[in-house]
Amino acid sequence: MENIRLTSYDEVAEILRECDNVTILTHKSPDGDCIGAGMGLCLYLRSLGKHANVVNSDGFPDRYDFMTLDYQPEEFEEKFVISVDISDTSLLGDELESYADKIDLCIDHHGSNRFFAKKSYVDASSSAACLIIFELLTHMGADITLPIATNLYTGLATDTGCFKFQNTTPAAHIAAAKLMEMGVDFEHINRKMFDIKSRNRVLAEQRLISDMRFFEDGQIGFMTITNQAISDFHIDRSELDAFAQIPLTIEGVRFGYTLKQVENTFKVSLRTTDADAAAICGEFGGGGHLRAAGCTIEGKMREIYARILEVTRKYL
């Protein structure tokens, strides 16, 4: 069967109106955008009298508690499966692996999307999956309640670095304006998502920055988060996502790598100022966005540095 690419909100809206008993899948290591998009969509479907749940392989991290306040899983016989913010079935994670060939509708904003679902709506120009959901619900004339708005704002803010990053669009600002008018407590959300750190985390960041390694006149920066550092500083693994932004904050760095030890492999995050991060990570079987991408590399740390350096030098 041909996988169908949807190109309009009308087409997606029609599917959403018809579906019921929906399982919404978000990616493993869930972040603000996939949780926001999943929850926003789920709460909306429920408001139409439909049954819907949001699931992922790793559960919802504590720091996103405020997004799931109005959510309890329901019991129902699943009839329809939607994935949000998932570009590839490998991101389903172990618990949801069996869904790989059972996804009816994929809603995503990654240019690297592999069109694994029966039908896909992918808008790589959209700042966030939450922005797609916001525009879709607006298009459908939905009553966007405060819990829905809170979820959508959070995903939009977290995926754009609070409207700082290159992927921020005028449409993202306009959506933020409308979501704020619905009463979203953006000040609290942004403090929680971006500003507040435990003293432990501040100390951890200090150590990690001090230990950073730089190459090519400081244009390439590596921050390495070992299992030892994670346990020394009692860092919650869900907090680690934010660390990926750190290397690029050092003056002169154009390629900011974060290497995070996960058992015997390293999960690599790359942030760039002007190079194509998705292309670089693509050379290691990963992917992502133009300025933010990731991949997983096996091997010893020293070898991994060398392999990454070799590839990165082509993009200098």
Contacts with a copy of itself by CB under 8 A lie at 161-166, 168-171, 173-174, 176-178, 180-181, 186-187, 190-191, 194-199, 202, 206, 209-210, 245, 248-251, 273
Q: Which residue, 176 or 259, has its beta carbon nearer to a copy of itself? A: 176
CA–CA distance, 253 with 286 (Å, rounded to integer): 22
What is the smallest separation between the CB atom of 41 and a copy of itself, expressed in angstroms? Answer: 23
Q: Which residue, 112 or 272, has its beta carbon nearer to a copy of itself? A: 272
146-159 helix and 32-47 helix, angle to the nearest 10 degrees: 160
What is the smallest separation between the CB atom of 170 and a copy of itself, expressed in angstroms? Answer: 4
Q: Which residue, 45 or 253, has its beta carbon nearer to a copy of itself? A: 253
What is the smallest separation between the CB atom of 203 and a copy of itself, expressed in angstroms? Answer: 8
Judged on CB neighbours under 10 Å (0-12, 13-18, 19+), 296 is middle
Q: Give Cα separations from 50 to 17, 140, 186 (angstroms).
A: 9, 16, 29
The answer to whether the beta carbons of residues 17 and 9 sit under 8 Å apart is no
What is the smallest separation between the CB atom of 161 and a copy of itself, expressed in angstroms? Answer: 8
What is the smallest separation between the CB atom of 268 and a copy of itself, expressed in angstroms? Answer: 20
Residue appearing with tokens 């939450």: 130
Residue appearing with tokens 């030098």: 313
CA angle 199, 27, 97 (to 5 degrees): 130
Q: Which residue, 75 or 181, has its beta carbon nearer to a copy of itself? A: 181
Q: Which residue, 210 or 264, has its beta carbon nearer to a copy of itself? A: 210
CA–CA distance, 202 with 216 (Å, rounded to integer): 28
